[in-house]
Amino acid sequence: MSIAVCPGSFDPITLGHVDVVRRGRTMFDHIIVGVAHNAAKNYMFSPEERVRLAQESLEGIDGVTVEIVPGLLVDFAKQAGASAIIKGLRGAADFDNEQSMALLNRHMGSIETVFIMGAPHLAHIASSYVKDIARYSGDFDDLVPPAVARAIRERKDTNV
């Protein structure tokens, strides 16, 4: 069985992420969505909340599980028996960042990264934009799965 890890912060998961996972499943039998920590980011949702939101958002796609990546991605991928890492690319700005991570992960763990070009109609979606729109009370419903839209509203209501 071919396994790939699709890692990210997923804070929160968006329709762009869901599309990348769905298309990744056409290449791999099983995709593990890895909710990881990016030291450069402040998170709106805890790792457990990000896992739950990803699970709810991906429940319609067979052969997908969601797990927390507790440390280095390469260690997690190796332990999971994954033959590749899958990442979505929206454009050149993503590529700069992803290229160095892909090379580093291959250097550290001999694991290849497979890039999936994001669908053009979803290329404007980023978790950081979603959070910014929510912060200023804009409309984010068509950028994220329904479970995520609900969770953001609840988070805003409790003002956390």
Residue 7 sits in the site that holds ligand PNS (CB under 6 A):
yes
Q: Give residues 77-136 in contact with ligand PNS (rule: CB under 6 A).
A: 101, 104-105
Annotated catalytic residue 127: yes
Rounded to 5 degrees, what angle do the CA atoms 81, 87, 91 make?
165
Annotated catalytic residue 110: no
What residues form DSSP beta bridges with 89?
A: 117
Give 115's contacts (C-beta < 8 A, 6+ positions apart): 86, 87, 88, 89, 98, 102
Q: Give residues 45-74 in contact with ligand PNS (rule: CB under 6 A).
A: 69, 72-73
- d(CA 137, CA 83) in angstroms, rounded, equals 42
Please report how close the Cβ of residue 119 comes to ligand PNS at its closest, in angstroms.
17
| Out of 13, 32, 36, 82, the residue judged to bind ligand PNS by CB under 6 A | 36
Reading the block at residue 28, the tokens are 């791999």
Q: Of 81 and 157, which has the nearer Cβ to ligand PNS?
A: 81
Active site residues: 17, 41, 90, 127
